[in-house]
Structure 1
Amino acid sequence: MTSKMDHEDKVEAYARALIEAARSEGRANADLVQWQHAKKFSPEVLETLATMQAEEDTDLINDVARRYKAILDSEDTTISVTVTTAVPMDDELRNEVRTAMTEQLDAPIYLVERIDPKIIGGIVIEARGRRYDASVRAQLANIRKTLSASFIGGDD
């Protein structure tokens, strides 16, 4: 019960903080629209914004957006590959992933490393809008789904 109340208190506090800040600048409705779109942000965008906030670099957001577009519009064929592991990769694994992805994508890659203990183990690779999930968490979910299907569709 307490954790649900803590959750509700946090939600209320965040919402009121957003409203107060927005009202003081006359943009409450505009902020609501932005907030509703925020749920569509990828984890990478949220992490980047959080880092920029922590480093007090939010004044660079417009410059980053312009550079982002310039890089996309350029002839640069480098592909960003996000690799998520439960623990930091060692140099050997990093080199193996870099080599394999460079060969598979037939292009130079920029490796973005993320650590997420929730995947338990294994690796998740994302590139060009595709996701290869060989995490322990995904494997356990597949086992659970298979077992659930076999019991539901089992003997009558």
Structure 2
Amino acid sequence: MALARRLGSALPPLFREGFRSFAIQTKSSDAKIKVPLSLFGGSGNYASALFLAASKANALDKVQSEILDVVEASKKSPLFSQFMKDSSVPRETRVKAVQEIFSEAGFTDVTINFLAVLADNGRLRHMDRISKRFVDLTMAHKGEVKVIVTTVIPLPAEEEKELKQTLVDILGQGKTVLLEQKIDPSILGGLVIEFGQKVFDMSIKTRAKQMEKFLREPVHF
């Protein structure tokens, strides 16, 4: 919340000022560092570039925290959100504003330079999508897998522990399961488990629909 307040107070004068243009110099990535996932599209390319830069600087966790702080601040500060989305703001103004604000906030050079590149290229409005792809990369690097489990009521601690172990057995040793529980009374009972592109629907609602479909099918003797 402190960052959002800082952005709200810092941006107004910066909107009205003109700044000299400047070039952002980037260093080549270490050839030994590999991106753990192949991402495509603009957001994937930016996320991959950030991952390489943060890895080279040994600052993955710090950069991830800062990037998520920026996304959160954009949600809490209408002025900063407008700044990120408004393509009419001069490029020099966007770049200078990003450098000044996040330098003052104590962000790493990796994050500041990355945000400046986005500002220079008019891509700040895609920050939320880029941040999600970046988190995908950091999780894959750490062997973390986010699993969303939907139930009617919260799982008891013992059942949650057993479910995590079962998921580790399925995903393979060396993986860390990050379990997120969602409550949805409409599934009536059972579980819906989602991770990656896979969905295991073991809810009573789905089973009831399957049974209904089966009963409606004509019987052939």
For normalisation by structure 2, the TM-score amounts to 0.40
- Which segment drifts farther, 74-83 or 108-117? 74-83
Letter in 2 for 1:91: A
Q: Which residue of 1 aligns with 2:216?
A: 148
Q: Which residue in the other structure is 1:99 paired with?
A: 165
Superposition deviation, residue 153 in structure 1: 4.2
In the alignment, residue 83 of structure 1 is paired with which amino acid?
V
The residue aligned with 2:53 is: none
Shift in Å, 1:143: 0.7
Residues 1:69 and 2:137 aligned together: no
Question: Of 131, 135, 155, which aligns to 2:199?
Answer: 131
Using a 3 Å threshold, how does the CA distance of structure 1 residues 65 and 57 change in structure 2: closer, same or farther?
Answer: farther
Task: Give CA deviations for 1:15-35 in whole Å, capped at 9, x if unaligned.
Answer: xxxxxxxxxxxxxxxxxxxxx
SS in 1 for 2:146: strand
- Superposed, which structure 2 residues align to 1:1-156 within 5 Å? 56=76, 59=81, 64-74=128-138, 75-106=141-172, 107-149=175-217, 152-153=218-219
Q: Aligned equivalents of 1:146 and 1:96: distance in 2?
A: 32
The CA deviation at 1:108 is 1.2
For structure 2, the 5+ residue unaligned runs are 1-71, 85-124
* CA spacing shift, 1:88–1:144, aligned 2, 3 Å: same
Displacement of 1:105? 0.6
Counterpart residue type for residue 188 of structure 2: I
Q: SS of the residue aligned with 1:88?
A: coil
Equivalent position of 1:45 in the other structure:
none
RMSD over aligned CA atoms reads 2.6
Given residue 206 of structure 2, which amino acid in structure 1 is its aligned partner?
Answer: A
Distance 1:69 1:57 in 2: 23
In structure 1, list runs of 5 or more residues that go unmatched: 1-51
Look up the equivalent residue of 1:80 and give its one-letter code.
K
| 3-state SS of 1:89 partner | coil
Q: Following the alignment from structure 2 to structure 1, what is the Cα–Cα distance between the partners of residues 205 and 77?
A: 35
Equivalenced residue count is 100
